C-alpha cells in the first residue's frame, strides 16, 4: 500500500491524524464585479490545498517533516500522486519530556499548496 505522504525520493512522512483537500479555482487577472454585482472573468486553473494535521509526534518525527518539506517549491506524493507544492508555516504544540527521555509534541500542522 502506498504511503499517504512521501517525498519524491520515497521518504515516508509520519501518517497524519487528519487531512483535508480543497480544490480551488484560479481566476484570470481581469476578473471583477461589474456594476450589477455580477462577477465576470475566466477560471484558468484548478489547484489543490491540503491541510495536514499530525497527532502526537517525537522531536525526531517533527524534524523529519521539517527537513522533507523545505522552504520553496518541492515535490510531494499525496496519496500516491506526485504534485509540486510549497508549504505554509509548520505549527506545533510541544508537550515536553514525558519520562522516557524523548521530547514530544501534542500536534503539528501545515498547509501544502499546489504550485
Tell me the per-residue pLDDT of 20-46, one tens digit each, with 9 for 90 and over. 999 999 999 999 999 999 999 999 999
Domain of 91: which CATH number? Answer: 2.40.30
Q: State the residue range of the domain holding 45.
A: 5-114
pLDDT at residue 3 in the model: 76
Mean pLDDT of 85-111: 94
Across the chain, mean pLDDT equals: 94
Between the alpha carbon of residue 4 and those of residues 7, 10, 45, 97, the distances in Å are: 10, 11, 25, 28
Q: How many domains are there within the chain? A: 1
pTM of the full predicted structure? Answer: 0.84
pLDDT at residue 1 in the model: 47
CB 24 within 8 A of CB 47: yes
What torsion do the CA atoms of 112, 91, 5, 45 make, to the nearest 10 degrees? -10
Mean pLDDT of 55-76: 95
Amino acid at each position: 500500500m502506498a504511503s499517504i505522504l512521501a517525498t519524491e525520493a520515497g521518504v515516508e512522512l509520519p501518517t497524519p491524524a487528519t487531512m483535508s483537500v480543497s480544490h480551488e479555482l484560479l481566476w484570470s487577472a481581469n476578473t471583477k464585479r461589474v456594476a450589477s454585482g455580477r462577477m465576470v472573468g475566466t477560471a484558468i486553473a484548478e489547484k489543490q490545498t491540503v491541510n495536514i494535521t499530525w497527532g502526537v509526534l517525537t522531536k525526531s518525527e517533527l524534524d523529519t517533516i521539517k527537513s522533507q518539506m523545505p522552504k520553496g517549491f518541492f515535490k510531494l506524493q499525496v496519496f500516491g500522486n506526485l504534485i509540486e507544492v510549497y508549504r505554509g508555516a509548520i505549527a506545533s504544540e510541544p508537550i515536553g519530556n514525558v519520562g522516557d527521555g524523548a521530547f514530544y509534541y501534542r500536534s503539528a500542522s501545515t498547509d501544502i499548496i499546489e504550485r
